[in-house]
Amino acid sequence: MNCIEKILATYGYDGWGDLWVSLSPSFKYAGVTAFTMGISSLGVSVLRIFGLDSLAFAGLLIVFGFELVTGLARANAVKERITSVKFSRFLFKVFYYLISIAVTYLMSMSFLEQGKPTAALIFDWMHMFLVIQIVLENIVSISENLAVVQGKEKSHFVTVLQEKINQLLR
């Protein structure tokens, strides 16, 4: 037994492995550590790539998922056949949205680091505009899907929302 192992033993540790498990108890459970490290790494990557914190990005993914679910419900309500082509179109749209968000954010950060604040400001504005526009477009799509599922005209909820906004602006 070497000197360090003797010191560890005085604290009740049977060796390095016992100390490691004490410092990181999740290592005792298969898969938990890999999962938590993966989630933590994704959180940092999301912020660096998309310019959105983890909660905002999760909200964006939830909106995408809800659009998919309401779209499937709408197709079912009108007895429309669900095809892989439509699902592929949805995935392509999400891919396009995420690339648009990432590219504008990354360009903004790149120009900022290069000391070009005007170009950075333009891309920062484009990034914010795209995020807002993408969320609004998905909310409109969800509203249209829900209206059809409820047997109403496709534009029902959007029209109601427009009327409320117009009343507020008067």
DSSP 8-class letter at 81: P
Q: What is the mean pLDDT of residues 111-127?
A: 97
- pLDDT, tens only, 7-25: 888 888 888 888 877 887 7
Please report the DSSP string for 123-137 in residue order: HHHHHHHHHHHHHHH
pTM across the whole model: 0.75
**Per-residue pLDDT, 32:** 72
Average pLDDT (157-169) is 92
The answer to whether 145 and 86 are in contact (CB under 8 A) is no
CA-based nearest residue to 64, from 94, 92, 42, 85: 94
- The whole-chain average pLDDT of the chain stands at 90
Would you state the pLDDT for residue 53?
92
Give the pLDDT band (50/70/90) at residue 142.
Answer: very high
Q: What integer pLDDT is reported at residue 133 of this predicted model?
A: 97
- Summarised one tens digit per residue, pLDDT across range 43-82 is 888 999 999 998 999 999 999 999 999 999 999 999 998 8
Q: Reply yes or no on whether the pLDDT at 28 is more than 80.
A: no
